[in-house]
Amino acid sequence: MSLWSRKALFAVLLLAAGGGPSLAQAALPYAGLQGRAIKSLSREQIAQLTAGEGMGLALAAELNGYPGPRHVIDLSTQLGLTDDQRGHVQRLFDDMKAEAVPLGQKLIAAERDLNAAFADRTITPERLAAATAAIGELQGKLRDTHLKYHLATAALLTPDQIHRYTELRGYTAVARAPDASGDPHGAMHHHMMGTMQHGQ
């Protein structure tokens, strides 16, 4: 074997050795997860569901110019919220938690039941269909809960405050098409404001 061939072979062996662990990890993506109490949920996800946190469920709103109540409260000083705005947003956050926490707990219980049915080998096609339908419904309700409070929060803020929020959160400012009146919030803003004011 020539010197060049020996060097080439050595290089290949080095690459193979260096790539071994990463290749093994890629081939075994779920290794270690078998110790989870609920296989489909991590401890962090369970904690977030229990606390009523968003878990990324409201990204469609958050990243399109509809701030969430929790982050608006955290940034209230930088956003220059009035006392009235702060009070409204705090109530929205409290209401969101009151809805999200029970839904999160129900979702955890439903995932636990599904996990147990597989673990004890009592799962059937019929039971699977019922369980996944229930889980899907809970997931939908939970996502709707988080999204609707982003919608309501945005209705309380001025365009400048929303623009400032996107800057503070590290997002590119989201362009909002004005309605026929030229209001960048549009008719939905006025509808939400009226709804919340009448609901007090």
| Regions of the chain with pLDDT less than 50 | 3-5, 7-17, 175, 177-182, 184, 187-200
- Label residue 22 exposed, middle or buried (CB < 10 Å: 0-12, 13-18, 19+): exposed
**pTM of the predicted protein model:** 0.73
Q: Which residue's entry shows tokens 């109490």?
A: 37
Tens of pLDDT, residues 2-49: 544 454 444 444 444 455 555 555 688 899 898 899 999 999 999 999
Distances (CA, A) of 72 to 3, 29, 102, 103, 164: 66, 37, 23, 23, 11
Domain ranges of the chain: 33-198
List all residues 6 or more positions away from 117 whose beta carbon is below 8 Å from its beta carbon. Answer: 123, 127, 128, 131
Q: What is the pLDDT of residue 183?
A: 52
